[in-house]
Every structure is written in C-alpha cells, then in structure tokens.
Structure 1
C-alpha cells in the first residue's frame, strides 16, 4: 500500500468516526464513555495522518 492510499484510508476512517461521534453526541441517550472513546480513536487517526503528511492539517 502506498503512503498516499494509506493516508486516504486514514482520512476515510477519520470521517466515519466523525459521523459516528456526531450521531452519538446528538443522541438523547448519549453515552459519555462512548463519546470519549470515539474522540480518542479520532485523535489517534489524526496523529497517524500528520506523521504521514506533516504539511497537511486535518480537522
């Protein structure tokens, strides 16, 4: 797998977690532990992306 394709996969996973996080946070029965877990996963992916491509920023 090339670095570019790996970076694209990380971006896809980051976006999917972002969507799941938004759903969880907007749910009336939101689980704070689940929200924290999703935020940690998202941060790990962001760190991995920045290591592969330090010139780009991901929000």
Structure 2
C-alpha cells in the first residue's frame, strides 16, 4: 500500500467516524461515553493523517 492510498483510507475512516458521531449525537439513547470514544478515535485518525501528510 502506498502512502497516499493509506492516507486516503484514513480519511475515509475519519469521515465514517464523523458521520457516526453526528448520528450518535442526534440519538437521545446514545451513551455520552460512546460519543466521547468516537470523538477520540476521530481525533487520533486526524493526527495520524496530519503526521503522514507532513
């Protein structure tokens, strides 16, 4: 896997997590800890994308 394709896959995962966070925030039954965990995963992916892009 090339670096650019790896970054592309990470960006797709980041977008998927962003959608999951939005869905979880709209649902009143979603646990707040679940939302926090999703946001942390999303942040880790963004940091990895930034690190690899530099």
* Fold equivalence (TM over 0.5): yes
Q: Which residue of 1 aligns with 2:2?
A: 2
Structure 2 segments unaligned to the other structure (5+ residues): none
Larger helix percent: 2
Q: Which has the higher contact order (CA 8 A, sep 6+)?
A: 2
Deviation at 1:28, TM superposition (A): 1.5
Give the SS at the match of 1:30: coil
Q: TM-score, normalised by structure 1?
A: 0.87
Q: Which residue of 1 aligns with 2:45?
A: 45
Q: Which residue of 2 aligns with 1:27?
A: 27
Moved over 6 A (4+): none
Give the SS at the match of 2:28: coil
Deviation at 1:30, TM superposition (A): 2.2
Name the Cα RMSD after superposition.
0.7
Structure 1 segments unaligned to the other structure (5+ residues): 55-59
